[in-house]
A and B are shown apart, each in its own frame.
Chain A
Amino acid sequence: MQRPRRWRFRLTTYVLRRVLGLIPVLFGVSLLLFLITRLIPGDPAVAMLGQRASAEALQQLRTDLGLTLPVWFNLEAAMQRGPLGLFDSQYFNYMGDLLSGDLGRSVFSRIPVSESLLVRFPATLELALAAMLVSLIVGIPAGVYAALHRGRLPDTLIMTFALSGVSFPVFWLAIILIYIFAVTLGWLPPSSRISVSSDLNEITNLYLLDALLTRNWSAFTDVLRHLILPAVALGTIPLAIVVRMTRSSMLEVLSQDYVRTARSKGVGEREVVTKHALRNALLPVITVVGLSFGTLLSGAILTETVFSWPGIGRWVYDAIGARDYPIIQGGVLFVAVTFAVVNLLVDLSYALIDPRIQYT
């Protein structure tokens, strides 16, 4: 169908406004992280090196980290070197580094944070996508079944069960899953992404994809076996909302005229549900899953900790223990930016798909 030109114009301005609207938020996120890490009482150099570090080492680290500079504006430098010196301060150096993609280096390994992110993020992404898949595979049939038995026992049971899913601490569920399926039954490996003995050419660092691309089937099954337990544990987080959304969306669609028409034509119940109703009911479900991506990222911190999964979560967790502030800051910033961008993309794609959405 050709959409009217005015619709396209309004859509374009809507997209532009949303994308531009992201800028002040991202700017604020970076400012908040700066405030959190710089303006707290205590000396980060002491925090990093410990109380017994020598005065020279502390001073060296302070200079390296740029902590000897003024926080906001460098008046002294402005007097000596001209107006641009005003911006030789902690904040403007931080922003300048950020905008050029420099997130600093790990205090201990000296590896650039942005470099580690590129290796770590695919691990987290793979886990989050697998968790989404788990929640959809379990959640959609459960939601449809609940909708078809609305108000009766299966409905109550499924909805209560789904609610229980969000009430588990995800790290606890992870421990229990390891105990049952790895320790007691020995079916699945308890930790990490791949066996030490497995040989895999890393291309994208999404191991399943890499194994597929290189047609390395033994590595593929190995990676898959490692992925199951963490994905199930993390998948319980969006599960409840998938079930709830599928159920209410199905109920709405099933009560519509065209479904009644299909039924009165004599179309079988199975076909009405799968072909006519489910397809239309799925759109809001997909949106909700997209929006829960951020929750998955933060849940990944807990899941990855338990499963020794080498993603961003485990990395930030280790950095917290080691007080490696550049990693904490860079990791958190990266996750927040990813979250904001994914949310925007979900919103925009929803607006593209569904012309009923108002752009106000």
Chain B
Amino acid sequence: MSTSDATGRRGRLFGESVLGDQLRKFFRHTTGVTGLIIVGAFVVISLLAPVLAPYDASRDRNLRARLNPPSAEHLFGTDELGRDQLIRVWHGGRISLRVGLAAVAMAVVVGSVLGLIAGYVGGWIDTLIMWAIDILLAFPGILLAIAIVATLGPNLTNALIAISVTQIPIYARIIRSVVLSLRESEYVQAARALGANPFRIVLRHLLPNSLSPIIVQLTLSIGIAILDVAALGFLGLGAQPPAPEWGLMIRDGFSQFLRAPWMSIFPGIAIFLSVVGFNLLGDAIRDVLDPRLAE
């Protein structure tokens, strides 16, 4: 495809000014900046949790303060074991952030490798890989993750692996389509004619051109992963007690919710804010990086 070819080349010639242009465009994007602020705050607050408020979930209980509603002492109230919900929601952010990032990172690496091989090698290997990808895509949403965790056993690591597997197809498809469109382009042909080995072509020419669709997808994927971790936790298939995981906290809150609705309200707001942050950011990045979509 000639358009991505041209932008790729221009990107390298005027790298500075294109980046500057894109940054300027991004900072004029109100919702994008809002997203960036939310995500930034989420990351900083989560990272600072162990410094500002050390917490050991396995020892935390205060049976004299059970199911207290939100007050000055416990801003988010307490649960049925008298645990302060504010500190649990705060530390829950670390779990969501870590699992979200790790799941997406694994998916990007595995998906990219599969997509590169499929697109570059072609032939029956391509057919085989795309068959596997189509199979994964035949499971809607987190259904595959549920099936995997239900059999592997419910814990956070298995939830992470399962969520990662559900995200592999997106990246494999993106990379494969970029590779297919560039494989026969003139500059890749030229590199090949000059005797560049396949690894060099892939690393120097194909991967850099796949970056912008990957970056757009990345931000949105982290939001989806955070939602999926929470969903598995809520179903009892993710993090296990006493971990302060948001989905698990909502699960605990659901069983108490006539007496203590705050137990499920606050973790839900935390999930919503972090996911909306990543979604707003991802949307803005898409507008900036993909001029064809900008209206």
Residues on A facing B (Cβ under 8 Å): 24-26, 28-29, 31-33, 36-37, 40, 150, 156, 159-160, 163-164, 166-173, 175-176, 179, 183, 248, 251, 294-295, 297-299, 301-302, 305-306, 316-317, 320-321, 325, 328, 332, 335-336, 339-340
Contacts and interface: CB of A to CB of B under 8 A. Distances in A.
A172 B151 contact: no
18 contacts: A25-B134, A25-B135, A159-B31, A163-B279, A168-B272, A169-B227, A172-B267, A172-B268, A172-B271, A172-B272, A294-B141, A301-B235, A306-B254, A320-B150, A321-B236, A328-B151, A335-B140, A336-B138
B257 interface: yes
Nearest to B139: A336
B157 to A, nearest CB: 15
A352 B79 CA distance: 56
A169 B134 contact: no
B250 A172 contact: yes
B147 interface: yes
Contacts of A335: 139-140, 143
B30 A167 contact: no
Interface of B: 30-31, 131-132, 134-136, 138-144, 146-148, 150-152, 223, 227, 230-231, 234-237, 247, 250, 253-254, 257-258, 261, 264-265, 267-268, 271-272, 275-276, 279-280, 283, 295
B143 A305 contact: no
A297 B135 contact: no
Nearest to A24: B131
A25 B261 CA distance: 44
B234 to A, nearest CB: 5
A276 B134 CA distance: 38
A200 B253 CA distance: 34
B169 to A, nearest CB: 12
Nearest to B246: A169
Contacts of B151: 36-37, 40, 325, 328
B140 A298 contact: yes
A26 B147 contact: no
A321 B275 CA distance: 28
Contact of B271 (A169, A316, A325): A169
A320 B237 contact: yes
Contact of A169 (B139, B140, B231, B265): B231
Contacts of B279: 163, 166-167
Contacts of A31: 135
Among B143, B146, B261, B279: residue with most chain A CB under 10 A: B143
B120 to A, nearest CB: 22
Given A167-B275, A298-B142, 15 more contacts: A28-B131, A28-B135, A32-B136, A40-B152, A163-B279, A163-B283, A168-B268, A183-B258, A298-B139, A321-B236, A325-B151, A332-B139, A335-B139, A336-B139, A339-B138
B77 to A, nearest CB: 15
A138 B253 CA distance: 30
Nearest to B136: A32
Contact of B143 (A28, A298, A340): A298
Contacts of B237: 320
Contacts of B272: 164, 167-169, 172
B134 to A, nearest CB: 5
Contacts of B30: 156
User: Which among A37, A167, A295, A317 has the greatest number of chain B C-beta atoms within 10 A?
Assistant: A167
A171 B250 contact: yes
A332 B143 contact: yes
Given A251-B295, A320-B150, A26 B140 contact: no
A302 B223 contact: no
A332 B250 contact: no
B131 A302 contact: no
A23 to B, nearest CB: 11
A156 B138 contact: no
